[in-house]
Amino acid sequence: YTPRTERLAVDIGLSPLIATDRGDLLGRGFLRLLAAYDTEIQNIAKRAQREGRKLSQVPEYREAMGRLRGFLKNEVNRLLNRLVALHAPAVLVVERLDLRSPELSRRMNRLLSNFGRRYLKE
């Protein structure tokens, strides 16, 4: 790996997912896709609550959460790989993360806060 850029500053958000100090905006439709996952997961949770079932016992919920986690991991990795291919930074500087949106449910905001730190550290 031969760096072409000394330092690349990255701002992580929800719309777009990644913005750089060079003006790159990656993941522009990220919030819209998250809202679709959020709606699906909330509908499953409401249905389970009406039926008196715990979410841990609902296979559809576990499957939806697995798809969401896979999407998040793939999207973050895809965009970070794109940044490395574009700029080849020696150092990647990431701002302090606060991944929340009033457009999303409390459950989704909690998941995003946890995902952000973990996948970026990996």
pTM of the model: 0.83
Residues contacting 79, CB < 8 A, separation 6+: 17, 18, 26, 27
pLDDT of 47: 96
Mean pLDDT, range 18-38, rounded to an integer: 92
For 66-110, what is each residue's pLDDT tens digit? Answer: 999 899 889 988 998 999 999 999 998 888 666 778 888 988 888
Beta bridge pairs of residue 91: 7
Q: Are 37 and 64 in contact (CB under 8 A)?
A: yes
Domain segments of the chain as ranges: 5-117
**Alpha helix (H) residue ranges in 1-122:** 30-51, 59-87, 106-121
How does strand 25-26 pair with strand 5-12?
Answer: unpaired
For 50-68, what is each residue's pLDDT tens digit? Answer: 999 999 899 999 999 999 9
pLDDT at residue 9 is higher than 90: yes
Task: Give the confidence band of 117 by pLDDT, cuts at 50, 70, 90.
Answer: low
